[in-house]
Chain A
Amino acid sequence: MNKRLKQKIAFAVFRILGLMVVGILFWILGFILYNGIGVVNWEFLITAPKEGMTAGGILPAIVGTLCLIAGSVIFAFPIGVMSAIYMNEYAGNGWIVRFIRIMTNNLGSIPSIVFGLFGMALFVNTLKFGDSILAGSCTLGLLVLPLIIRTTEEALKAIPDSFRTGSLALGASKLQTIRRVILPIAFPNIITGLILSIGRVSGETAPILFTVAAYFLPKLPNSIFDQVMALPYHLYVIATSGTDIEASRPIAYGTALVLIAIVLLMNLLATILRRYFGRKVKIN
């Protein structure tokens, strides 16, 4: 066979495969959107589930997910950013940093169900938090820690060393340099990491199964020691084990749509931020 012809065939196949991946994405998103859009309205967002989760809305699940987002971010964001600052600004380039980096990567590759097991053993049973927002937030916080560390580290690495040496040459201390020079420049990219981890937290199911998620709890939480419903777990419940699976299908589509909307909105926001500020830093 002619080698030009071979090339033509191969490239055509690759083009089709590329199209296929986009097709799969649109298939999934379109399917959820098409079936869910009729269900989601203001009423759906602000009422609690009724009649064995076959009617009503998903307010408790939304509030629960917001609580978990807030909790895990409060826990993981400061620690993650500080950890990245340490690795990039203080620790130099020795074996310590290499070790920490490997550990961070490993933590990031642990399956989410293992975090669930660990969260149950440590936070729920050993530290006696019980099934609570606190236990769930800590578990989810650990889960997104590697993501926050990695994005922050990349943000810090992107800053040229001349900024650091320039600031130090002007008589600023190391801490002043970090606070006044490094962090303000890296800020948008660090926020990007934060937004991505919010997207991740809101979609995770396995880590909250045994640490916080309630099967059905139509009231809003009062304290961090309360159980809550959460969007992803709620979707799992009404899709597989509700009282009447057929009757609750529309609710499941609506829940999936809300969940996907939150996650994709976060991803979109992160992409926009990255593009916008990515340009700005370079001009500086």
Chain B
Amino acid sequence: MKKIRQIIERMVKVMLTLSGSITSLAILLIIIFLFKEGFGLFNNPSVEKGYALCINASNPVEYLSPEQIKQIFDYEITTWDEVSGNREDIIPFRFDEIFSMYPEEEFGIDYELLPEKLGEVIVQNPNIIAYIPEQYLLRENASVKTLPQENIRVDNFFGGKEWLPTATPSPQFGVLPLIMGTLWVSFFAILIALPLGMGVAIYMSELAGTRIHKLLKPAIELLAGIPSVVYGFFGLVVLVPLVQKALSLPVGETAFAGSLILAIMALPTIITIAEDAMRGTPRAMREASLALGATRWQTIYKVIVPYASSGITAAVVLGIGRAIGETMAVLMVTGNAAVMPNSLFQSVRTIPATIAAELGEAPAGGAHYQSLFLLGCILFAITMLISVSAEFISKRQHNKGI
């Protein structure tokens, strides 16, 4: 009987230990899956998989960068000499154009003559650049040159200024506008939330009586509990028209509207943590300051706020973390234009909003899908950094107490 009980005790202990490791395991799995999918992006060719770019063999051009390819097919580069070729106009050619050049019968029953026709077109036009599926490529044709393909490069991803993941033939994965959009919106959100949050935190920890405190505390908890999609909805139907009218903008869906809604959402985090930090000020320090003839206000800003500074910094850092990771509210109010932001009153797009908006349409395993996971990695890394540094900062606070 006693033996059985001992065995049970031991089994329970093993189970508890296993459950204890669940969070570490979860983080490990998140890292593995996010980074595995995300870094697969750099194994993708910069042109869509399964497609090739061909030019006439008489064309001296040997290499085109992904950006040049995109500009050629967008008609931004129009002559070959801009990409170190002859002084001739470029003729961009997309695969489906072939069907308007020849009658259907000429391709044969199973399109077996299609490669030949494609070859014919390329041979006839010395200045053509053709974007065609590899399966229809005529390998033996000596007068057709296939341009070498390179993989998507790391510096193109992190340094690129264009986010056009569905552009053909050469999708652009430049993450800078998204990072800038995220930082832009979060920074101004904190700029709004910090003075407001600090004021309320001081009020709650130093001025409010217990009765008012008992009313304010649940109010702030409620504010923290409102789902982000409801904030987004509120922002969409109230703040966006308000911003548009008050500043007479063409559209209200701007970075500013996003900052406003994020400021409200970051408030509870900032208030709660800053208040806790200020409450932690030893009674002796307050009383010493008051005994020296300082007013309560002087005591607050010369003794309590400096004493609680690490806690307040932690509050700000965590507030920023909350703002950077927020998805739905931002998605609904910022307008989501993936361009480099240069004004607070234009539409921007953040990293989380990009993932939420595009993952549904990106085919699993493709370059677009992987690029969104890489965005997830960036987000994950930023929030990890923030949470670790907040922990480090508030630890300094505890040491000071001793």
Listed in ascending order, the chain A residues whose CB lies under 8 Å from chain B are 3-4, 6-7, 10-11, 13-15, 17-18, 20-22, 24-25, 28-29, 31-32, 78-80, 82-83, 85-87, 89-91, 99-100, 102-107, 109-114, 116-118, 120-122, 125-126, 142, 145-146, 149, 173-175, 199-200, 202-206, 209-210, 232-233, 235-236, 239-240, 249, 252, 256, 259-260, 263-264, 266-267, 271
- Give A31 to B295 CA distance when docked, in angstroms: 41
Q: Is the CB of A87 within 8 A of B219?
A: no
- Give A232 to B331 CA distance when docked, in angstroms: 14
Partner of A105, one of B16, B228, B372, B387: B387
Partner of B200, one of A18, A78, A107, A121: A18
Shortest distance from the beta carbon of B384 to any chain A beta carbon, whole Å: 6
With known contacts A18-B199, A32-B234, A100–B24 Cβ distance under 8 A: yes
- A18 contact set on B, CB distance < 8 A: 199-200, 203-204, 208, 212, 216
User: Among the listed stretches B83-91, B153-161, B307-315, B373-381, which one makes contact with chain A, having 4 or more residues with CB under 8 Å of it?
Assistant: B373-381
Listed in ascending order, the chain B residues whose CB lies under 8 Å from chain A are 5, 8-9, 12-13, 15-17, 19-24, 26-27, 29-30, 33-34, 37, 196, 199-200, 202-204, 207-208, 212, 215-216, 218-223, 225-234, 236-238, 264, 267, 271, 295-298, 300, 318, 321, 324-328, 332, 352, 355-356, 359-360, 364, 372-373, 376, 379-380, 383-384, 386-388, 391
Q: Is the CB of A121 within 8 A of B199?
A: no
- Give A114 to B383 CA distance when docked, in angstroms: 10
Shortest distance from the beta carbon of B322 to any chain A beta carbon, whole Å: 9
Shortest distance from the beta carbon of A98 to any chain B beta carbon, whole Å: 11
Q: Is the CB of A111 within 8 A of B379?
A: yes
Q: Which residue among A111, A149, A202 has the maximum number of chain B CB atoms within 10 Å of its CB?
A: A111
Q: Is the CB of B5 within 8 A of A173?
A: yes
With known contacts A99-B24, A121-B373, A260-B230, A25–B223 Cβ distance under 8 A: yes
- Give A80 to B356 CA distance when docked, in angstroms: 28
Shortest distance from the beta carbon of A239 to any chain B beta carbon, whole Å: 5
- A112 contact set on B, CB distance < 8 A: 228, 325, 327
- Give A110 to B29 CA distance when docked, in angstroms: 13
With known contacts A18-B199, A205-B328, A28–B16 Cβ distance under 8 A: no
- B23 contact set on A, CB distance < 8 A: 83, 100, 103-104, 107, 145-146, 149
Write the chain A residue with the least CB distance to B296: A7
- Give A3 to B84 CA distance when docked, in angstroms: 73
Partner of B222, one of A113, A117, A264: A264
- B318 contact set on A, CB distance < 8 A: 109
Write the chain B residue with the least CB distance to A26: B219
Q: Is the CB of B19 within 8 A of A206?
A: no
Q: Is the CB of B356 within 8 A of A125?
A: no
Q: List 21 A-B contacts (CB under 8 A).
A: A11-B207, A11-B297, A15-B207, A17-B199, A79-B22, A100-B21, A103-B24, A103-B27, A104-B23, A106-B27, A110-B30, A113-B327, A118-B33, A142-B26, A145-B26, A175-B9, A240-B332, A260-B230, A264-B225, A264-B226, A267-B222
- Give A265 to B179 CA distance when docked, in angstroms: 37
Write the chain A residue with the least CB distance to B19: A82
- B219 contact set on A, CB distance < 8 A: 21-22, 25
Q: Is the CB of A125 within 8 A of B364?
A: yes
- A14 contact set on B, CB distance < 8 A: 199-200, 202-203, 207
With known contacts A21-B219, A125-B364, A117–B327 Cβ distance under 8 A: no
Shortest distance from the beta carbon of A36 to any chain B beta carbon, whole Å: 11
Q: Is the CB of B208 within 8 A of A175?
A: no
Shortest distance from the beta carbon of A44 to any chain B beta carbon, whole Å: 17
- Give A86 to B387 CA distance when docked, in angstroms: 24
- Give A232 to B212 CA distance when docked, in angstroms: 33
- Give A100 to B8 CA distance when docked, in angstroms: 25
- Give A117 to B358 CA distance when docked, in angstroms: 12
Q: Given A86-B19, A117-B355, A232-B230, list of 9 further CB < 8 A pairs?
A: A6-B295, A21-B200, A83-B22, A106-B384, A116-B355, A118-B30, A174-B9, A203-B226, A239-B236
- A126 contact set on B, CB distance < 8 A: 33
- Give A267 to B13 CA distance when docked, in angstroms: 33
- Give A148 to B147 CA distance when docked, in angstroms: 57
Q: Is the CB of A121 within 8 A of B356?
A: no
Q: Is the CB of B233 within 8 A of A85?
A: no
- Give A216 to B264 CA distance when docked, in angstroms: 31
Q: Is the CB of B26 within 8 A of A24?
A: no
- Give A107 to B328 CA distance when docked, in angstroms: 20
Write the chain A residue with the least CB distance to B380: A114
Q: Is the CB of A90 within 8 A of B13?
A: yes
With known contacts A107-B26, A111-B326, A122-B33, A86–B16 Cβ distance under 8 A: yes
With known contacts A18-B203, A118-B29, A236-B332, A203–B227 Cβ distance under 8 A: yes
Q: Is the CB of B34 within 8 A of A117?
A: yes
- A205 contact set on B, CB distance < 8 A: 227-229, 327-328
Q: Is the CB of A25 within 8 A of B204?
A: no
- A111 contact set on B, CB distance < 8 A: 324-327, 352, 379-380, 383
- B27 contact set on A, CB distance < 8 A: 103, 106-107
Shortest distance from the beta carbon of A180 to any chain B beta carbon, whole Å: 14
Write the chain B residue with the least CB distance to A200: B225
Q: Is the CB of A271 within 8 A of B218?
A: yes
- Give A82 to B20 CA distance when docked, in angstroms: 7
Partner of A236, one of B19, B215, B229, B234: B229
Q: Is the CB of A256 within 8 A of B223?
A: no
Q: Is the CB of B233 within 8 A of A256?
A: yes
Q: Is the CB of A86 within 8 A of B17?
A: yes
- Give A112 to B79 CA distance when docked, in angstroms: 47
Q: Which 10 residue pairs spanning A and B have beta carbons closest together?
A: A111-B325, A203-B227, A17-B199, A86-B20, A7-B297, A82-B19, A86-B16, A109-B387, A14-B203, A206-B327
